[in-house]
Amino acid sequence: MKTLKAFLTCALMATTIIACDKNNDDNTDDSHLKDLPEYIQRDFSSRYPDAKVDGFCLFGDSLNMAEIDFYDKDGLSNMAYYKDGKWLSNRKKINLDADSDLIPVIDILDKDGPSNMVYYEWMSNSKNITLDAASDLVPEKVHDTFSKLGIPKAQIFEHIFEDSKSGIEQKQYQFAFVGTYNFGMGEIDNYANNIIIAEDGTLLSHNDYQLCDPVKIFPYDNTDFIQFAQSKYPDAKILGTTYDGRNVVVFISHEKIVKHVVIYKDDSNKISWVKTWYPLDINTNLPESAIEDKNDYLSQHPDAKLTAIRHEEDATGAYYCFTFYLTIDSGEIISSKIE
């Protein structure tokens, strides 16, 4: 048996915006794209024929990335991203009466002087919304999946995003809100939740501990990560992606199971597999060795409560991972190797 201390991280990516053109009047049209390369203008106009452009930004070391802000035919705010002329993704903000923006938050990374890295966070002065208020703006299957999670219909969301990404057939919907969470050791109020659901209603992720939006900042080009996951699991269907600290998580449907493929890219752009995992029902039938490891832990910590089980595989083998809470704010994960 291997015991691991559990800890939670939430990392932001950093980038530098070099050039921006923001519309400050009521004339939102394609004239704001005139300073972008023609091939981006053509792709954007073809992809979003009804867009009312509000401005754009070029960023990256060689100005090779672009963000175009626009409103769609429903009046909802969108951001389209390009890299090296290739469309990467689009994010639609499903916030009624929304007036949100990316606000730079300067951070000092070097003790000898200010860093040239600028972090961007969502800052919103919009009216937050309930699921029912947004029901006409999300697919019925997404609405139904969320409703089955047992979260109160009156829950107020910080935001709801619709994300379209290159290399992924379906859109994915992200719900972020603060609410009550019950660990089985008691309830915590004002606890951050982040839920991602695919367009067909498949629940991809529900992180009750996610203290920041994992896709709220400028996106990676997910192409390499998707191709890596596809090569490792050639029979799998790609369902979506998100971020977990410095790692990228590719959600796949494999062997009729939604799995999380965690992938890392280092500073030299070398991609490596970290692990693949998926949650199991708390009442899952386990092999005798895993039951013994679980009971051994409980015998040493009789007040601990088992709150989650998952199957995890990495380069060292496959494991059953058990999450125990000793108190309402103190948890531990133990892993039982599958022989």
Q: Could you write out the three-class secondary structure of the chain? A: CEEEECCCCCCCCCECEEEEEECCCCCCCHHHHCCCCHHHHHHHHHHCCCCEEEEEEEECCCCCEEEEEEECCCCCEEEEEEECCEEEEEEEECCCCCCEEEEEEECCCECCECCCCEEEEEEECCCCECCCCCCCCCCHHHHHHHHCCCCCCCCCEEEEEEEEECCCCCCEEEEEEEEEEECCCCEEEEEEEEEEEECCCCEEEEECCCCCCCCCCCCCCCHHHHHHHHHHCCCCEEEEEEEECCEEEEEEEECCEEEEEEEEECCCCCEEEEEEEEEECCCCCCCHHHHHHHHHHHHHCCCCEEEEEEEEEECCEEEEEEEEEEECCEEEEEEEECC
pLDDT band at 46 (very low <50, low <70, confident <90, very high): very high
Are 229 and 250 in contact, with CB atoms under 8 Å apart? yes
Q: Give the pLDDT confidence of 190-199 residue by residue, as tens digits.
A: 677 788 999 9
Pick from 58-67, 131-140, 168-177 the range whose average pLDDT is largest: 168-177
Average pLDDT rounded to a whole number, residues 187-213? 76
Q: Which of 31-40, 280-289, 293-302, 326-335 has the lowest mean pLDDT?
A: 31-40
Are 4 and 334 in contact, with CB atoms under 8 Å apart? yes
Q: In which residue are the tokens 């500073």 written?
A: 267
- Position 87 scores a pLDDT of 94
Q: Give the pLDDT confidence of 283-292 residue by residue, as tens digits.
A: 999 999 999 9
Cα separation, 128 vs 96, in Å, equals: 7
| Distance of alpha carbon 51 from the chain centroid | 25
Q: Would the CA dihedral through 42, 47, 48, 50 be positive or negative?
A: positive
pLDDT band at 146 (very low <50, low <70, confident <90, very high): confident
Report residue 86 as tokens: 């290739």
Flag whether pLDDT at 164 surpasses 70. Answer: yes
Q: Which of 147-151, 161-165, 284-288 has the lowest mean pLDDT?
A: 147-151
Start-to-end CA distance of the chain, whole Å, equals 11
- Position 35 scores a pLDDT of 78
Are 297 and 324 in contact, with CB atoms under 8 Å apart? yes
